[in-house]
C-alpha cells in the first residue's frame, strides 16, 4: 500500500471517529440548549397570554406551548354564584324517605392547564386539566334543607302556646317573626285573664320573680325578640354562602297527600325547615387522602373506606376530545365540613316560675335555632363533562378571562357517597353575650329590668338576637356551650349524648349524635369562567 493511500485511509478513519463522537455528543449538547430554549419559550408564552389572551386560540401558540410542555395556572370560577339568578344547579338525592333537594353552587377552584409535547400523542388543542387543593379557593353552596315540620309556619300557631297552657294544636312558631319584641300571651281573649295573663294586651315578655322583692308579683320580664331566628329568615334563595338560603326551589321538600305524616294541609315551605346544613365550603380533597368511614368518630360512619384520587381530566381548546362527544372530561373529589342547624319546635313549658338566680330553662329556645358541631364529609369522584370555547375578555370583577365553559354530570354517572349530619345541640345561632358560652348564665335580678314595661334590655340577656354566630369549629357531640348545657338539664346534667349500653338491650354503642345516609349527586348545569392566573373570583 502506498504512503498516499495509507494517509487517505488514516484521515478517513479519523473523520469517521470524529463523526461518531459528534453523533453521541451532539444530542447532549442540544439537550442543554433545549432546556434553556424551553424556559425562554415558556416565558414568552406567559407574556403573550397575559398581553393577549386570544393568543391561546391560535394553533401556532398551541403548537409552541405543546413543544415545551407549557403549564398555565388558571382559576375556574363559577359564574353568578353570589346572585339571585345563580345558574349553577345540582340535585342531591337522599333516598326514598327524604327525596331530592336542590343545591346551588358558586365559588372557584385552582387549576393548571398543561400543554403536552406532540410526541406524547393526542390531538392538537388537547390539554391536561389538573384541579388543585387550595387554601384560598373552594366551591360554595346554599344550605341543604333536610327535615321539615309545617307546625313551624302554620299561622294558627304561636310561640307561647305551651307556656300559657293552650291546646296542643296551637303550639308552633307561626307568630315568631320580626326584629321587635313580641307580646307574650297577647290577643287570646277580648277581656279577662287567660293562663294568668291579662288580655288582650298580653305582657312584654316572660315574667320572672325576684324573691328579694316578691314571691308572687313579677319583678320584670325577659323580652322575646325573634331577630336572627325569625322564621321568615329561612328562604328559597340561589345565592351561595348564606346559611338561610335553602336553594332555589320555593317548595324544597317532597310533598304528596300520601307523604304527610301528620295530615298537614299545606306543602312544606322553606320556613318549615327544622334541620338543615350550613352553606358549605367544598374544597378539593388532596390525592391519596385515606378516609376511614367504618368507625370514624368525627366523620361519616358505617360506610366503606375510600382513598381519594386525583382531581382533573382533559379538555380540548378547539372542539371535542377525540373519540368523545364533548370537549371537557374531568373528575373532582371534594371535602367539606357540615354543621347542622336545628329549629326547636313545641318545646315543653317552663313548668315552674322563672326565678332570679336560677339557670335559664330549655323553654327559652322554643322556636329558636341551634348550631351543632361539625362532621367532616367527602364527596369522591364527581365526573363532569361539557364544552369549552375560547372567549377572551374582562369579567365584571376586572379579571382576565381566556375561556368560558359549561359542565354537567354525564348521564348515568351520578356521584354516590355517604353523607353525615350532626344532631347534638352545641350553641345558639344567635351570638353569645355575658360569656354564656363558658359561664352558665342565670335569670337576672329585678333591678336589671330597666327597659320598656319593666323588661331586661338586650345587653342583659345571655344572647344577642340581632347577631349571628358563625358555624362552630367544635366536633359533633363535643360538650355544648354553658347556656345550652345548663338550660337543658338539671345541675348534674350530662353535657354530651352518651353511647348506648348493650346491657340495656341495645345492639349498638352509638350515641345517636349523628346520622349517615346514602346520597347521589347530579350536577345539572355549571357555567364557568376560566381566568388567567391565581385570582380571587367575584
Q: Which residues contact 395 (CB under 8 A, 6 or more apart)?
A: 77, 401, 529, 531
pLDDT at position 57 is: 78
Per-residue pLDDT for 262 more than 70? no
Label residue 494 by pLDDT band (50, 70, 90): low
Class of residue 116 by CB neighbours under 10 A (exposed 0-12, middle 13-18, buried 19+): middle
Of residues 440 and 41, the one with the higher pLDDT is 440
Per-residue pLDDT for 53 more than 70? yes
What three-state secondary structure class fits 117?
A: coil
pLDDT at position 397 is: 82
What CA–CA distance (Å, rounded) separates 85 from 248? Answer: 9
Evaluate whether 230 touches 465 at the Cβ level (below 8 Å): no
pLDDT at position 279 is: 98
pLDDT at position 31 is: 42
Evaluate whether 433 touches 462 at the Cβ level (below 8 Å): yes
What CA–CA distance (Å, rounded) separates 326 from 253? Answer: 34
What CA–CA distance (Å, rounded) separates 404 from 389? Answer: 6
The stretch 442-451 carries a mean pLDDT of: 96
Q: Could you tell me which of 100, 40, 106, 32 has the C-alpha nearest to residue 67? A: 40
Average per-residue pLDDT in the chain?
A: 87
What CA–CA distance (Å, rounded) separates 307 from 381? Answer: 11
Evaluate whether 386 touches 327 at the Cβ level (below 8 Å): yes
What three-state secondary structure class fits 336?
A: strand
Site of grid cell 362552630:
472
Q: Could you tell me which of 386, 375, 380, 422 has the C-alpha nearest to residue 519? A: 380
Of the chain, the percentage scoring pLDDT greater than 90 comes to: 61
Per-residue pLDDT for 410 more than 50? yes
Evaluate whether 360 touches 486 at the Cβ level (below 8 Å): yes
pLDDT at position 89 is: 96
The stretch 477-496 carries a mean pLDDT of: 77
pLDDT at position 72 is: 92
Evaluate whether 298 touches 476 at the Cβ level (below 8 Å): yes
The stretch 154-158 carries a mean pLDDT of: 93
pLDDT one-digit tens code per residue, 293-304: 877 777 788 788
Of residues 97 and 150, the one with the higher pLDDT is 150
Of residues 470 and 348, the one with the higher pLDDT is 470
Which stretches within 52-108 are classed as H helix?
59-67
How do the domains of the chain map onto residue ranges? Answer: 145-282+337-373+419-521
Instruction: For helices 3-51 and 59-67, give the axis angle rounded to 10 degrees.
Output: 120
Kindly provide the residue ranges of all beta strands, DSSP E only, lying in 395-536, ordered along the sequence. 400-409, 415-422, 425-428, 430-432, 463-468, 514-532
Per-residue pLDDT for 8 more than 70? no
Per-residue pLDDT for 436 more than 50? yes
> CB-side exposure of 326: number of CA atoms within 13 Å?
17
Of residues 117 and 445, the one with the higher pLDDT is 445
Cβ atoms within 10 Å, residue 488: 17
Label residue 537 by pLDDT band (50, 70, 90): low
Evaluate whether 119 touches 301 at the Cβ level (below 8 Å): no
The stretch 290-319 carries a mean pLDDT of: 86
pLDDT one-digit tens code per residue, 15-33: 443 333 343 344 333 344 4
pLDDT at position 24 is: 38
Amino acid at each position: 500500500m502506498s504512503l498516499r493511500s495509507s494517509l487517505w485511509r488514516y484521515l478517513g478513519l479519523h473523520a469517521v471517529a470524529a463523526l461518531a463522537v459528534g453523533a453521541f455528543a451532539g444530542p447532549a449538547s442540544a439537550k442543554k440548549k433545549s432546556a434553556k430554549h424551553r424556559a425562554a419559550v415558556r416565558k414568552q408564552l406567559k407574556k403573550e397570554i397575559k398581553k393577549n389572551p386570544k393568543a391561546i386560540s391560535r394553533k401556532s401558540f398551541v403548537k409552541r406551548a405543546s413543544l415545551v410542555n407549557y403549564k398555565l395556572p388558571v382559576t375556574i370560577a363559577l359564574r353568578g354564584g353570589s346572585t339571585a339568578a345563580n345558574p349553577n344547579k345540582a340535585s342531591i338525592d337522599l333516598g326514598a324517605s327524604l327525596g331530592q333537594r336542590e343545591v346551588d353552587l358558586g365559588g372557584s377552584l385552582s387549576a393548571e392547564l398543561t400543554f403536552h409535547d406532540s410526541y406524547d400523542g393526542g390531538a392538537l388543542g388537547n390539554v391536561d386539566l389538573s384541579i388543585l387543593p387550595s387554601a384560598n379557593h373552594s366551591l360554595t353552596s346554599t344550605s341543604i334543607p333536610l327535615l321539615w315540620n309545617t307546625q313551624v309556619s302554620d299561622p294558627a300557631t304561636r310561640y307561647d302556646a305551651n307556656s300559657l297552657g293552650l291546646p296542643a294544636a296551637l303550639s308552633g312558631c307561626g307568630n315568631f317573626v320580626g326584629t321587635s319584641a313580641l307580646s307574650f300571651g297577647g290577643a287570646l281573649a277580648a277581656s279577662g285573664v287567660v293562663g294568668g295573663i291579662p288580655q288582650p294586651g298580653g305582657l312584654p315578655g316572660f315574667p320572672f320573680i325576684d324573691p328579694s322583692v316578691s314571691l308572687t308579683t313579677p319583678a320584670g320580664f325577659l323580652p322575646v325578640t325573634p331577630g336572627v331566628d325569625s322564621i321568615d329568615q329561612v328562604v328559597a334563595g340561589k345565592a351561595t354562602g348564606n346559611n338561610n338560603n335553602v336553594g332555589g326551589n320555593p317548595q324544597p321538600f317532597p310533598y304528596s297527600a300520601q307523604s304527610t305524616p301528620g295530615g298537614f294541609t299545606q306543602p312544606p315551605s322553606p320556613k318549615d325547615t327544622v334541620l338543615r346544613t350550613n352553606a358549605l365550603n367544598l374544597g378539593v380533597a388532596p390525592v391519596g387522602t385515606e378516609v376511614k368511614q367504618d368507625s370514624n368518630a368525627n366523620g361519616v360512619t358505617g360506610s366503606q373506606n375510600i382513598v381519594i384520587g386525583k382531581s382533573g381530566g382533559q379538555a380540548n381548546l378547539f372542539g371535542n376530545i377525540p373519540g368523545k362527544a364533548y370537549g371537557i372530561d374531568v373528575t373532582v373529589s371534594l371535602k367539606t365540613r357540615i354543621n347542622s342547624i336545628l329549629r326547636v319546635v313545641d318545646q315543653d313549658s317552663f313548668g315552674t316560675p322563672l326565678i332570679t338566680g336560677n339557670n335559664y330553662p330549655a323553654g327559652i329556645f322554643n322556636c329558636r335555632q341551634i348550631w351543632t358541631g361539625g362532621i367532616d364529609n367527602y364527596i369522591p369522584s364527581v365526573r363532569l363533562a361539557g364544552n369549552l370555547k375560547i372567549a377572551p375578555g374582562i369579567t365584571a370583577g376586572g379579571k382576565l378571562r381566556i375561556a368560558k365553559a359549561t359542565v354537567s354530570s354525564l348521564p348515568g354517572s351520578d356521584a354516590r357517597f355517604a353523607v353525615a349530619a350532626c344532631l347534638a345541640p352545641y350553641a345558639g345561632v344567635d351570638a353569645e353575650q355575658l360569656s354564656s358560652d363558658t359561664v352558665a348564665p342565670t335569670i337576672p335580678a329585678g333591678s336589671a329590668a330597666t327597659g320598656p314595661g319593666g323588661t331586661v334590655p338586650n345587653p342583659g340577656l345571655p344572647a344577642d338576637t340581632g347577631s349571628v354566630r358563625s358555624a362552630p369549629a367544635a366536633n359533633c357531640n363535643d360538650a355544648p356551650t354553658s347556656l345550652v348545657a345548663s338550660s337543658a338539664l338539671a345541675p348534674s346534667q350530662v353535657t354530651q349524648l352518651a353511647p348506648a349500653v348493650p346491657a340495656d338491650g341495645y345492639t349498638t354503642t352509638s350515641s345517636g349524635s349523628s346520622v349517615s345516609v346514602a346520597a347521589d349527586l347530579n350536577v345539572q348545569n355549571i357555567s364557568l369562567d376560566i381566568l388567567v392566573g391565581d385570582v380571587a373570583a367575584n
